[in-house]
Structure formats: C-alpha cells, structure tokens
Structure 1
Amino acid sequence: MTQKYFYLFLFLWICFISYAQDNKTKTDSAAIGYKKIENYSKKNKFTKFVHKLIFKSTDVKPTHPDKVESIAKKHVIYENKIIRKITIKTLDPFGYSEIDTTKKPKRFSEKAGNAVHMKSRNFAIRNVLLLKQNQPYDSLLILETARLVRSQRFVRRVDITAELAGKNADSVDVTVVVLDSWSLIPNANITPNKATYELTERNFLGSGHLWDNQYQHDLNDKRRAFSTRYVVPNIKNTYIQTDLNYQIDLENNYSKSIRVERKFFSPFTRWAGGAFVENRLRKDSLPSSSFQYSLQTFKYNTIDLWAGHSFRIKSDEFNDRKNTNLVTTLRYYKVNYLKDIASEFDAVDFFSSESFWLTGIGLSSRKFVQDEYVFNFAIAEDIPIGKYYGITGGVQNKNFENRLYFGIKATLGNYFKWGYFSTNYEYGSFFKDKKNQQTAFVLQINYFTPLIELGKWKVRQFFKSDVILGSHRLESVGDRISINESNGINGFNDPKFLGTRKMLFSFQSQSYSPWQWAGFRFSPFLNYSLAFLADSKRDFSISSGYSKLGFGVIITNDYLVFNSFQISFAYYPRIPNQGENIFKSNTYKTSDFGYLDFEINKPKTVLYE
C-alpha cells in the first residue's frame, strides 16, 4: 500500500514539474564550463550520445543575469587600482538599509529592538575581508568577500562599493556596509517528563563569536544535563576557527573537545588544516551472541590532525568567475579506547583502538550563484555549482593488523532550464589479503525546480535521494546503518532496526507567502519521505518501505539570524516496535534539503550511516 502512495505522489510531482517547465525559467552562466564538455563530446558519436544521456544543452542564460552582470560590472571599472582605504559600517537590524544609508528606524518597536541589540564591531567584519589596504583592487576578491560576509550567521545583508579617491586618481576607497541580524536566540521545550532551556548568542558582544548553552532537567528524578559551546570563527583574518565544547546528558554521558581548524573556505584558499582532540564517555546497549541486549560503557580519546594545500591550475576570470584547483591533503586519525568491550558483545573487536593515515588528491572547480526563495524568503542565497573529482587512499592499523583503504568521489552540480540539479557518487573499501572489507557505495541527488509564480505566491518543488549500499560489512551492530532521524526519516526512531543497505527518497512542495504579520511570513509546505532498509536476509524487493507524510508552516523573519523555524505535523503508517498510524509534531527541519558542495576538506572514508 505504501508503494502505491509513493507512485501516486511521484506521478503528481512529475506533473507539477512539467507545469513548471512551461514557465519562464532562469539559468546560470556557469554553464560555460559544461559548454566545454558539450563541445568535446561532439568529436565522435559515442561521446555525443553519452553527453545527451547525462546533460541538457548548455545554451542557457544565468539565473538573474542582469543582476549578476551588473554586480560584476560595478566593480570591474576599478580593477587593479590601489585600495587606499577600507571603511566598515555596521547597522542595527531593524529599520536600516545597507543600500540606502539615509533610512532610519521610525517605529517604536524598531528602536526598542535596536536598543537591546549589540551591533557588530568593525573587527568582526574586517576579520572576514579578503581585500587589503595598499593592494590592487580585485573584483573577484570583492565578490567572494561579499559572499563570505553573507555567510556569517549574524549578518543579514551586505553591500560593498568603491569610488575613486579623487578625480583621475589611481587609487580607490572601499566601503563595506553590513546589516546585522538579531542574534540572541532563546528556546524552551517543556514536556511532562523533562524541561529543556537553550540560549544561543551568535554574535557575542558584537564580536561574531558564537556561544550556545543548554540546560535540561528531568522532572521526575531531578537529574540534570548541561552543554556549552563557544566558537571563535576567525582569528585575526586567518580564517582559523576555534571550537570549545563540553556536554553532559541525563545519563551522565559526556564529551569534552577542542577543535582548531582552517578549512578551504574559498576557491582562493591555498592552505588548510586542523586539529581535533576529544574525550568521550557514552553508554549504549549491545546485543550478545544470543541477542540479549546489555548496557555497555564506551570511553575513548580521539586525536584528528590534517593539512592540505590547493594549487590553482585554471581561472576563467569574469566570464565564468570560477577557479579550478588541484588539492592535496594528508590526515592522521587515532582513537584510543580506555575501556574494552566484553568479547561477548563485540566478537569482532569493532569497538577497539585504531590509528589511520589517509591522503587525498582532488580536482575542484566551483563558484556560487545568487538566487532567492530557496531556503530563505527574498534574501540572496549563494548556491554552489561546479564539479569535484577526488581519490583517497590510506592505511589503517586496528587489532594489530594493517588494512589498505581506497576511495573515489565525484560531485557535479549546475543550473539547467529545468532547475538546479546536483549529484554525488562515492565508493570506498578496505582491502586485506586481496579481499574487500567494509565496502560502501553512495549515490546522492539534490534537485529543485525553477521558481514558479502563482499570482502573488511563489512555489518550488524539491527532491532529494540517498542510496547507500554496503557489502562485506562486519558482523557488528556498529557496522550497520539505519533510517532513524537525520540518517533517514525525521521522527522515525528504532535503534534495533538496522541493515547494510538503504534507499531514501524525499519530496517537498514549498510555498512562499506574499503576506506578512509583524515582520513574520507564514509559508505552508507539504513533504513526503519513503525509505527502504535491507540486509543479506531482507532484500529491497520484499520490503514495502517506511514512509512519512508531513505538512506544516515555515515561519520566516528577515531580521532574525536563524531566518526560519517551523511548525509541522507528520503521519507515519508504521514504525517498527512502536506501532501503526502514528502522528508526531515538529519532525521537519529546513536542513533536510540542502546543497551538495564541491569543497575539499580532510580526506575521509565513505560516510556509512
């Protein structure tokens, strides 16, 4: 019965997509990169045939072409002139405009909100800038700087302008105007059994630092839980992030960690690396050989070190504004278990100490396209497009034995006439005595349609799929995957329902309301998820699948740093060990649909969860 609902939903969704294709659509100039592939494919019939199977024609125009090109032309006239001065202006979130600096708050509510808001300090913005005084003006760095500033969670909008220092001058003055978001976020969740209180400040004292605190207590037996996290996102414009974290839950499971890391945050980044140290204790149930579950204690230390370097091998300047980089990385990962798990519950010693050397090499070509009405309302969003091809190799020492590891990855994404489409393919396996061990294959697809306008309303359709196929996996519950929560269907939670292969398909119809109340907009949505879980004894062909049908409202407010939150309700036909015809609330998160990025970071094994 579930499959019938799935195919019915899929048919209606395809019909809606067909309707969307009749509307005026938008694409992006990054198709130039794919144009080269198309031209190459015309050299013989076979490559031309393969190209038609995978790609649409690249004879399309960029999303918001006038807007994108006007932004580029605004900066190109100052190219290579020396930057004499950089002025930073930060504005409170209510009643101001980054474009029209003469606009002032008028209403009492706006003035009151600004009065209790601590505005971003200039150094918090200067830390993010890629441009420097007394250096040549580079329009590519200007556009990338604007994107990086927009990506800060305490920033709502940014505008970067330049003007000549004087008539016929060979230098320019740059002005960066930043409109803040409201950054203090309280949250509370009270049930008959426990109460949880959370307070997050994403711009602590205007510094751009994040401080998140959570307190929880059990209302029945007075147990307490607490967690705190402090993040310094950028130290003196080095883009080195420091993350301090401590948490202890109601069961006295705890984690203490520190992470210092500089990622490949931009296509212009040349050096990256990081260090992570953690001490963790957790308790979980494991089955014995007779399938009797017993609570076990896991206590271990983790050390994770990595470094990487990026070599620019191609830059397409203004027409494409996309860099192609060759990136090499090296990683050392070590886990040291301080307490052994009894062999009765871990016969293959899966939960044991290990050390792992990994190295990777990859080719990354990416840029960002501005679009609107994707995951936010009428706010510029930077959508990643491009491609990545990578190879990972390594040696693992575990249980006094060495194993080789090899993995490959390919990620592709672009705008087409029929929407934004991206895919990710990964394959990885350990090798010992010329035999495969713990092999995994991953296929991911993300898609959303062009914006559909229905009167004053706007609508998009989203689709996401995840396929994970494991083989030669170890006989341990630690080497199994589930369809629980973020690993499958939100709200679905059965820790004993595990497998080695799974397929997940998610659809969503998202509307964007033209009406607002007190700055809040209420946008209804409808989503459907279907998941299949299999193993050596339970194949996909005999599984009817597990599904969720959800509906709700996303509430957005441009002034708030968290941009949106939601009220949702979901119906589950059945959940193993829980029952049938189950209703739950607030099981949907906006992060359920996201982007596949083309960024290279530390080398790792194929994510199998």
Structure 2
Amino acid sequence: MLFNHKITVYAIIFLCHQFLFSQDKLIPKDSSTVLSGIVTPPKNKTAKFFHRLVFKPAKSQKIKKKIIVPKHLKVEGKIIRNIIITTLDPFGYSDSDIDKIPKNWSERTGNRAHLKSKKIAIRNLLLFSKNKRYSLLEIKESERILRAQNFINRVTITEKLAAPKSDSVDVFVRVLDSWSSIPKFNISNSKTGLGLKERNFFGLGHQLDYYYSNRKSDGKEANNISYLIPNIKNSFIRTEVKYSVDFDRYYSKGITIERPFYSPLTKWAAGIALNQNYLKDSIQDVEENYISQNFKYNNHIFWAGRAFRIIKADTITERTTNLIIAACFSNLNYLIEPSETLDPTDFYDSEKLLLTGIGINTRQFIEDRYIFKNGQTEDVPVGRIYGITGGYRYKNSKWSPYLGAQISFGNYHSWGFLSTNFEVGSFFKQAKKEQSAISFQANYFTNIIEIGNWKFRQFIKPQIIIGINREKSLGDLLTINENNGIQGFNSPVYGTQKLIFTLQTQSYSPKSIWGFRFNPYFNYSIAVLGNKNNPIHTNKTYSKIGIGAIINNDYLVFSAFQLSIAYYPNIPFQGDNIFKTNAFETTDFGFQNFELAKPKTISFK
C-alpha cells in the first residue's frame, strides 16, 4: 500500500512539473501557429476563470521567432466563389509544383495502373464550401483531415482573389494520391495465404481488406474481410463492417457506425457498435492450471457527445477549446461463459454500463516533419484535457457506481515535445473501492539532431498502471505481451501493477532508392509486473533490445515497413537468449490526440 501511495505522489509531482513547463512559449512551425498564439483575455468573470484554466498566460519576455513567409493569402472573411479540386496520380507529380510531370516509363506505367481519387471523395472531406466565408482555420483543418487519409500522400490548398480588390476568392485544392493497392501473399509449411488491401476502392476513399488462408494438414479454410466507408456525403459518418472466421470456425463479426469529433470545430459526435465474438481462450482453475474454454458474447455500444464553445471569440485557441458533454451505454451479454468452478467470482458475467462524462479540452495541430515519416508533413496534436467520468454498472445482480478523472497535457518546448496523460478511476461497493486503477503515460521526443545530411530523434515513452482491489480472475490482470508491453514478448505472466519504459533512437536517411528510404533505428524496452504482495520494485524485469531499419516510401499507402532483429534475454516458458526478426513496429510511439469523446473506464490490460 505504501508503494502505491509513493507512485501516486510521484505521478502527481510529475504532472505538476509538466503543468509548470507547459507554460513555456510554443515555438511556431508555420503561420497558422502564429495565429493560434493571439489570445485576447475576456472581460466576463466566468469566462476569465476558464481562460486562466485552459489558456497560457502571456509573457512579457520577448522570444525571437523565425520569420516565416505565410503560405496563404490574407483573405479571411471573403466569400468563396469557386473550389477547384485537382487529384494527381502518385508517381512523378507534385502537390505544390504544377509544372512537374512524370518523366520516365516506370512512373507513367505505375500511374496507368492506378485509379485516381474521385473529386467527390476529396470534396466530402472539406470543412469549407462554396458561397461561404473563407476561414483560415477551416482551410488548415481541411488540409490536416486530407493528410490523415490513407490514400492521400500530400495536399496543398491555396487561394486566389477573383480580382485585385474583389470580396470573393477562389480556393484550389491539389491532392497527390498514394499507391493504394497492396497484395498479400504467404506460403509456409503449414498454410498458404492470399489477400488484398485496397485503401482507395474505385477512387472513392473506401477501404477493402481481404485475406484468405488454407491449412495444408486438413484443408480447412479461414477468411478475414473488412470494408470501411470513411465518410458519407460530407457528414463525416464512418461505417465499417468486419467479419473473420478461423480454421476452427471461431469467428468475430460486427458493424460500427460512428461520427467522431474529427476536428476541434466539430459540434456533435455519436456512434453505434454491434459486435459478436466466438473464441477459445485459456482460463485458470482453482489449482492454477490453464484450461481451454469457449467464450461467446455480444457487445453493443451506443454513445453521443456535444461540444460547446466556452468563450465566444475569433482567436484560433479559443475556437478550438470546448466544453464536452457525452454519454455512453454498453451492453455485454455472454452467451457461452465459464462454469462456476472455473469462474467462482463471476468475472465473465453479462453486464450493463452507463457512463456520462464532462470535461474541457483544447486541441490544435502543429505541422512538423521527421517524426514517423521521412520529410513529409505530419500533424502533431497539442492541447489539454480536464475530464470527469461517472456512472453505474449492473453486474452480478447489483449496481456499482463508477467515478474517474483524466488530466492530459501536450506541447512543444525548447527542449522537445512532451505529452502526458494521467487517469484514475474506480468502481465502488458500499463506499469501498473495487477494481480501481491508476494510469500514467508520457511521450517525449527531442528536437531534430543533425549530423551531416542525416537527421536523428530520440523517443522516450514511460508508462505505469496500478490496480487496486482487482478481481481474482485471469481476465482482470495486466500483461506485458505484444501491444500491452513489449513487442514480440508473449508469455503467461500477470500482475496488478505494470511499469514499462521504452527508448528508441531513430535516424532519417537523406537519400532514397526508387522512392524507398532506409532509416536505421535502435530500440530498448524494459518492463516489470507486480502485485500487492510482490511490488514492482522487488520483481524480475523483462527486456528487449532491437536494431533494424524502418523503410519508408513516399508513394505507397502504407507509411512504413521494416527489417529488424530483436534480442530477448528471457521469455518465461520459451527460454533464454531468444532472437526474433521483424518483431517490432514504430506505432508504439503514436500521438495522443487530445480528443475528449466517448466516456470510458480506464483500460486495464
């Protein structure tokens, strides 16, 4: 218990440290960032309170800034007369240079085999429209949303006055496609597989992913298919249908219809998810032996949220700061569950969960390069979240209240980028905490370090999760397997406390070969599990050392793949001094998006 209190105190101290440092002046990356720093304090007392809570206080000390030539004209508020959309094949063209065209046979041949994006697919992703007033924030957000699509490589939006002193403006949207079709093929001694991943089906931006496999020993087949419609007529409602069945006829199927808070300017969001899963998993009996058990359950989720502007002002910071109110209802219904002998605590029992959330979030995006891509524009989320979640769960014939809170920060500083997320939550039974969790995570990367023509960054990611009064069930314990800890690590070791620390040194190659860039990296991960009787600091650590090359391609729909080798000193029940290839992907260091949306309990895996 003393250890838990220490960890909590350390996390709070770190949060306070981050809060103080988050007052540092943001170093702008482009003209839109300069605009976002202009904040006029409101006069209303209530508005002043929220302003002090969310926005950064202005400093009297002047900071030298790099002079940046604005990419956009100063036409704020003018009427948009026309929107001219140009879509380009992936090879030999440029989104910014209209004179650049394919010059060789391979580029022209590749373009002929590619189906170009339809203009309607691009128009449906724009936040501005014809005959409406021009807003630079909506232009920048539209660029970001377009860049986030898998089938788009680069995008440039420019404007031109209809006449020298005209009150109307023409907007030009120029989009460079990615190569979107990726075949999948696999042959081994045990099975054969064939599939296709298409990220721009018929040029509409729809995504089709299909994979078929055949097991040689008995001729049984497995299928996995999904189809995604990312947007329906500019509504930003995304619909995805999934179905997969394995060799032993275990399956997963579902449909999700959702409109997220896709932009800080979004006023409402909602979603429906209907899923059914039939699977086999291991569960421990009373003697702690692992027993294979069939599970089958339906999971239905319904949620909705509304965003309200806190302060009515035209500055970008205040336009992207909202009060979010949301509610969520989920119904988990087990059709096949373990017997009472295998599950004496009824952990695998049907449950209903009703949650509501309220919070304040501010969210902007800074354009940067050389983070997860090699030289392409990347949109880095910065912002803050203050959120509270409350509700009730009905399980095992009783209602249990839930209360949780979240505080998040993320920003650029003179010494690099840092984002942190702190969450605490618990169910209650007769005023006693049960299934409580404390979670803290930070993501840090340095500024670009240049050595000759090469560029480098250092990434650091610590994470700690502490469970208190968790259920005595394998399903309510933490692991450090794969995405939940160390990539490539898979072993039945569990705990109610988890500490993970990951380092990665990433390089960015100055040269490319046929569009491919080989970017060497070094990665080190260490993790430890603990529980109430055996705290983290007394237990054995598990680690991984990896080296390899992240291979980027400027034209393909997948951002990167890799060649790598990883060394594991020990994996329980597998052995010591284990080497694995292609065991790690850099998606571990993803951005925190600072989106406050569907209320949820703390993830405990």
Task: Output the CA distance in 1 between the equivalents of 2:187 and 2:436.
Answer: 43
1:148-203 Cα distance to aligned partner (Å, 9 max, x none): 11111111111111112234321111111101011111233433333333311000
SS at 1:182's partner residue? Answer: coil
Does the 8 Å contact 2:37/2:317 carry over to 1? no
SS at 1:386's partner residue? Answer: strand
**Residue of structure 2 aligned with 1:598, choices 591, 594, 600:** 594
Task: Output the CA distance in 2 between the equivalents of 1:108 and 1:65.
Answer: 42
Q: Which residue of 2 aligns with 1:112?
A: 109
**Residue of structure 1 aligned with 2:322, choices 321, 325, 332:** 325
Written as runs of structure 1 = structure 2, the 5 A alignment for 1:104-503 is 104-314=101-311, 317=314, 320=317, 323-494=320-491, 496-503=492-499
Task: Output the CA distance in 1 between the equivalents of 2:228 and 2:406.
Answer: 30
Give the superposition deviation at 1:143. 0.9
In structure 2, relative to structure 1, the CA distance for the partners of 1:566 and 1:320 (3 Å cut) is same
Does the 8 Å contact 1:355/1:398 carry over to 2? yes
Pairing 1:505–2:492 present: no
Task: Output the CA distance in 2 between the equivalents of 1:130 and 1:520.
Answer: 33
Q: Which residue of 1 aligns with 2:27?
A: 27
Q: Which residue of 1 aligns with 2:565?
A: 569
Scaled by the length of structure 2, the TM-score of the pair is 0.89
In structure 2, relative to structure 1, the CA distance for the partners of 1:33 and 1:93 (3 Å cut) is closer
Does the 8 Å contact 1:442/1:468 carry over to 2? yes
Decide which moves more: 502-511 or 559-568: 559-568
Does the 8 Å contact 1:358/1:392 carry over to 2? yes
In structure 2, relative to structure 1, the CA distance for the partners of 1:315 and 1:228 (3 Å cut) is farther
Task: Output the CA distance in 2 between the equivalents of 1:266 and 1:508.
Answer: 30
Task: Output the CA distance in 2 between the equivalents of 1:112 and 1:385.
Answer: 41
Give the superposition deviation at 1:316. 6.6
Task: Output the CA distance in 1 between the equivalents of 2:319 and 2:125.
Answer: 20
In structure 2, relative to structure 1, the CA distance for the partners of 1:538 and 1:109 (3 Å cut) is same
Scaled by the length of structure 1, the TM-score of the pair is 0.89
1:451-499 Cα distance to aligned partner (Å, 9 max, x none): 00000100000001110000100010010110000000011001x2111
Task: Output the CA distance in 2 between the equivalents of 1:236 and 1:534.
Answer: 50
1:105-131 Cα distance to aligned partner (Å, 9 max, x none): 011010000000000000100010000
C-alpha RMSD of the superposition: 2.3
In structure 2, relative to structure 1, the CA distance for the partners of 1:179 and 1:288 (3 Å cut) is same
Which residue identity lines up with residue 545 of structure 1 in the other structure?
Answer: T
Task: Output the CA distance in 1 between the equivalents of 2:403 and 2:569.
Answer: 40
In structure 2, relative to structure 1, the CA distance for the partners of 1:196 and 1:26 (3 Å cut) is farther
Does the 8 Å contact 1:28/1:60 carry over to 2? no
SS at 1:176's partner residue? Answer: strand
Pairing 1:525–2:521 present: yes
SS at 1:314's partner residue? Answer: coil
Task: Output the CA distance in 2 between the equivalents of 1:321 and 1:380.
Answer: 25
In structure 2, relative to structure 1, the CA distance for the partners of 1:114 and 1:265 (3 Å cut) is same
1:321-344 Cα distance to aligned partner (Å, 9 max, x none): 862100000111001111232011
Which residue identity lines up with residue 601 of structure 2 in the other structure?
Answer: T
In structure 2, relative to structure 1, the CA distance for the partners of 1:58 and 1:354 (3 Å cut) is farther
Task: Output the CA distance in 2 between the equivalents of 1:482 and 1:528.
Answer: 18
Task: Output the CA distance in 2 between the equivalents of 1:425 and 1:410.
Answer: 5
1:311-362 Cα distance to aligned partner (Å, 9 max, x none): 0113775575862100000111001111232011111111111111100001
**Residue of structure 1 aligned with 2:575, choices 572, 579, 582:** 579
Task: Output the CA distance in 1 between the equivalents of 2:403 and 2:38.
Answer: 32
Which residue identity lines up with residue 532 of structure 1 in the other structure?
Answer: V
Task: Output the CA distance in 2 between the equivalents of 1:58 and 1:382.
Answer: 29
Does the 8 Å contact 1:348/1:475 carry over to 2? yes
Which residue identity lines up with residue 203 of structure 2 in the other structure?
Answer: G
- Listed as ranges, the gaps of 5+ residues in structure 1 are 1-24, 37-54
Does the 8 Å contact 2:324/2:597 carry over to 1? no
Q: Which residue of 1 aligns with 2:553?
A: 557
SS at 2:109's partner residue? Answer: helix
Q: Which residue of 2 aligns with 1:542?
A: 538
Give the superposition deviation at 1:523. 0.8
Does the 8 Å contact 2:438/2:467 carry over to 1? yes
1:473-531 Cα distance to aligned partner (Å, 9 max, x none): 0010010110000000011001x211111000000000001122111111100000000
Task: Output the CA distance in 1 between the equivalents of 2:495 and 2:34.
Answer: 40
Does the 8 Å contact 1:322/1:366 carry over to 2? no
Task: Output the CA distance in 2 between the equivalents of 1:550 and 1:369.
Answer: 30
Does the 8 Å contact 1:532/1:540 carry over to 2? yes
Decide which moves more: 280-289 or 422-431: 280-289
SS at 2:311's partner residue? Answer: strand
* Percent identity over paired residues: 45
Which residue identity lines up with residue 513 of structure 1 in the other structure?
Answer: S
